[in-house]
Structure 1
């Protein structure tokens, strides 16, 4: 592991300050969602993707749009529907009558932050069109690979209570999401603050009315990502991450525990969280803080456990409680 130069250290510090200010800017439009904002920033730093889950009306779309505005990055939104085709996302070849040739017309995936709205409302064939983009950061059309811009992240949303007419994401695709974040219904005080803002003429369709400024940019994300890769992980903390994953694999309530990809994901999110917290090393508390959002969506319950009302999060909490914490 190579150390950062003095210039890189200075750039990383500026980036941390700038990314810290992003939360304040997003809060001008979205009330009390600091955890979700932090998760999206962590995913950008770790080059991962986020699945946002919440009932309609909890500001999932507004959150992503506000984040893009505060980061000064390009964003596009795709409403996933049953008739959406793969080419509608990745792009397709279009015949140019002027040149008598086929030219590639890029789809909405060619952006920095792609909002895949209600991703579980489109058939698996279209869902899988995102897999190459998420994993390889490229799309292949007519045998040619086309690179996506940097940074690139998919923020997908889904409704946790309405399943009619949906296509649940398979385990293989869920495993591609670095984190899953639940956006609950707001507390009473938060909802009152939302009404106060709307009464003061806040328009969620016009972010300019909220006064959101671009306080960070792609260069800050790049500097931050470079600094995150230098965050130290002690051998016993790395062993703790592995032991947590292995504990889920032996749980009698699960038919599928955390995969090796899950352990690397937990390492990545823990390092990013440690860096955002102002440290250059990972602690067991960092691992615990990121475990639920990084691991829970990768666990598959046995049918009998589901019938008993057991949740994957509860199984994960039990595993966290059972694995000895390094000192």
Structure 2
């Protein structure tokens, strides 16, 4: 007896317009309290709605924490912050089981990862042992303590920050840890008018006071719409050709993994939803290649700096033929 898998219904025009409107409203709310590039805000929302995690690589004092708090506020979620130090223990992040003298039973006390948005500040300042405590929760959205698995709330996003300049006293993230991040983003400096306004003491509204735009259920519906976005075979093949080029590049010790290819396809679906479309185009892939793949490249010289990764991927995007409307490269 043969079984067939039902094809999910295509994304309707009404669903696409509604989803794009939700992204626009969330982005507008975040931009009202965080002075950063609108493109970065939309990429962060794309990662969150798509179930991915983000590594913010930037200088101190650029508004990374404010951006993460604003993201939690517009989605009605909770936010917790972990300040990484060399003596931070894995149990300080995940939680610990403590014996209750009154009940004569062991009780689990959850750590700061039990929130919708978890800010892991200066992740490369803590030891590899503590860094590895985040691997399970970032991949499986659960924490195992004393053999018992504890689910974290959904939606769940880890926003980790690291300083790209000051390297003393840091522990570089291993490739396995970097691969858990869907995107690596940078806020950059604000525009001149925005910085002048802040220098004059005109403070922005507090991120925590933002009214929720969507709740957890509505964020889940966005993810459901993204799963039904049409992804044509020529675009899949385009992603594969790009991935294969990274694996054969003379300046790279290792190209992107299969997980990275899947991550780019998943992010491209959500990127299309944010743009009000029910189908993925090669432009979605181009827009996401650097933030999704840049931190996963391993150059011969060592870890990939953001600028070097962007240069390599931009060159590959210019070399690999883009599929046309008929599916053939052009």
Q: Shared fold (TM-score greater than 0.5)?
A: yes
Q: Which residue in the other structure is 1:279 paired with?
A: 277
The 2-side partners of 1:262 and 1:41 are apart by 19
Match of 1:176 among 176, 180, 183: 180
| Deviation at residue 190 of structure 1 after TM alignment | 3.1
Match of 1:238 among 220, 225, 236: 236
Distance change (3 Å), C-alpha of 1:296 and 1:97: same
The 2-side partners of 1:227 and 1:48 are apart by 16
Q: Which residue in the other structure is 2:47 paired with?
A: 43
| Deviation at residue 188 of structure 1 after TM alignment | 2.3
Tell me, yes or no, if structure 1 residue 127 matches structure 2 residue 131. Answer: yes
Q: Which residue in the other structure is 1:316 paired with?
A: 313
Tell me, yes or no, if structure 1 residue 55 matches structure 2 residue 59. Answer: yes
| Deviation at residue 212 of structure 1 after TM alignment | 2.6
Distance change (3 Å), C-alpha of 1:50 and 1:99: same
Match of 2:108 among 104, 107, 129: 104
| Deviation at residue 315 of structure 1 after TM alignment | 1.3
Tell me, yes or no, if structure 1 residue 325 matches structure 2 residue 322. Answer: yes
CA contact (8 A) 2:272 2:278 kept: yes
CA contact (8 A) 1:300 1:312 kept: no
The 1-side partners of 2:204 and 2:295 are apart by 35
CA contact (8 A) 1:262 1:294 kept: yes
1:8-39 CA distance string (max 9 Å, x none): x8677544322320111111111233222212
* Secondary structure of the corresponding residue to residue 270 of structure 2: helix
CA contact (8 A) 1:15 1:216 kept: no
| Deviation at residue 70 of structure 1 after TM alignment | 1.5
Q: Which residue in the other structure is 1:215 paired with?
A: 213
* Secondary structure of the corresponding residue to residue 176 of structure 1: coil
CA contact (8 A) 1:288 1:320 kept: yes
1:272-292 CA distance string (max 9 Å, x none): 111110110011111100110
1:209-246 CA distance string (max 9 Å, x none): xx632222212211100000011111100000111111
Q: 1:5-20, aligned counterparts within 5 Å?
A: 13-20=17-24
Q: 1:67-216, aligned counterparts within 5 Å?
A: 67-196=71-200, 199-202=201-204, 206-207=206-207, 212-216=210-214
Q: Which residue in the other structure is 2:36 paired with?
A: 32
Distance change (3 Å), C-alpha of 1:5 and 1:295: closer
64-73 or 179-188: bigger deviation: 179-188
CA contact (8 A) 1:58 1:185 kept: yes
Distance change (3 Å), C-alpha of 1:224 and 1:103: same
Match of 1:2 among 5, 8, 20: 8
Q: TM-score if structure 1 supplies the norm length? A: 0.91
| Deviation at residue 172 of structure 1 after TM alignment | 1.0
The 2-side partners of 1:43 and 1:239 are apart by 23
Q: How many residues align?
A: 318
The 2-side partners of 1:137 and 1:201 are apart by 36
| Deviation at residue 104 of structure 1 after TM alignment | 0.5
The 1-side partners of 2:250 and 2:39 are apart by 31
1:240-277 CA distance string (max 9 Å, x none): 01111111111100001111111101101111111110
- Gaps in structure 1 of 5+ consecutive residues: none
Distance change (3 Å), C-alpha of 1:74 and 1:113: same
